[in-house]
Structure 1
Amino acid sequence: MAGKQAGFIARADATNETAGNGSRIRRRQMQNIRLELIMSQAIEDDFLSGLEAAAPDAKYTQYADAAGRGYSAPKLGSSVWPQLNTVFVLCCEADEAETVLGVVRGLRERYAGEGLACFKSEVAEV
């Protein structure tokens, strides 16, 4: 009854799994690319507009109000450095990753002075 334990995912085959609650999870075999984008909140809306136009079905996770210091002005949410960053994480297929990178390139050209970091790596879902 291991498949009935809370939070347990039992491997059924290469593309199907059963969650701990008995529901089926369908996973596609693909080359997964992880994109992690760290950007000034000042350009967040333009990124989301560009993403919606270029890849309307893109799935992402957003972490708002991220403080940090990179190669542009610090974004610390303080009285001295009041701005903050937003972080987007996308896991997608290689072709969709290239589409998203096109949006990033356009933003870098348009907002050369704003902070916009992008990291790309291969990932495997487990």
Structure 2
Amino acid sequence: MIRIEIIANQSVQEEIIKNLEAVIPDFCYSLIPLVYGRGKKSYKLGSTTWPETNFILLAYCADSVEQDIQTVIEYEKKKFPDEGIKIFVMHEKNPELTN
């Protein structure tokens, strides 16, 4: 089991989700649609000074879909290089200890 966290500008949210669902038909996730913060290049505060915002997508998936997810995100990063798309993958530490 893996935990996926995808953080990106809200402008690419719909496309990322659409492509993940197309590649992984039973892809289940939770979405935090409005995220404020600061990245390497700018702030995302939803204000008149810093109008952009991000989203976070969280998913728990089988190890077998990790490469498919990585491939979708690599594609999106190439298509939208300035939208701050990041992915973090956490692997289950001791799968034999879980029920």
TM-score, structure 1 as length reference: 0.70
Q: Is 2:28 the partner of 1:59? A: yes
Deviation string, structure 1 residues 9-60 (Cα, Å, up to 9, x no partner): xxxxxxxxxxxxxxxxxxxxxxx11111111000001101111211121111
Residue 113 of structure 1 and its aligned partner are, at CA, apart by: 0.9
User: Which structure is larger by alpha-carbon Rg, 1 or 2?
Assistant: 1
User: RMSD of aligned C-alpha atoms?
Assistant: 1.5
Secondary structure in 2 matching 1:96: helix
- Relative contact order: is structure 1 or structure 2 higher (C-alpha 8 Å, sep ≥ 6)? 2
- Report what 1:100 is aligned to: 69
Would you tell me which structure has more helix in proportion to its own residues?
Answer: 2
- Size of the aligned set, in residue pairs, is 95
Which residue of the other structure, out of 67, 73, 84, is the alignment partner of 1:115?
84
Separation of aligned partners in 2, 1:115 and 1:72? 9
Runs of 4+ in 1 over 6 A off after TM superposition: none
Distance in 1 of aligned mates of 2:62 and 2:29: 13
TM-score, L = length of structure 2: 0.87
Q: Provide structure 1 residue ranges, at least 5 long, that are not aligned to the other structure.
A: 1-31
**Whole-Å separation in 2 of the counterparts to 1:99 and 1:34:** 14
Letter in 2 for 1:64: P
Shift of 1:98: 1.5
Tell me the equivalent position of 2:54. 85
Matches within 5 A, 1:32-47: 32-47=1-16
**Equivalence for 1:20:** none
Is there any run of 5+ residues in structure 2 with no aligned partner, and where? none
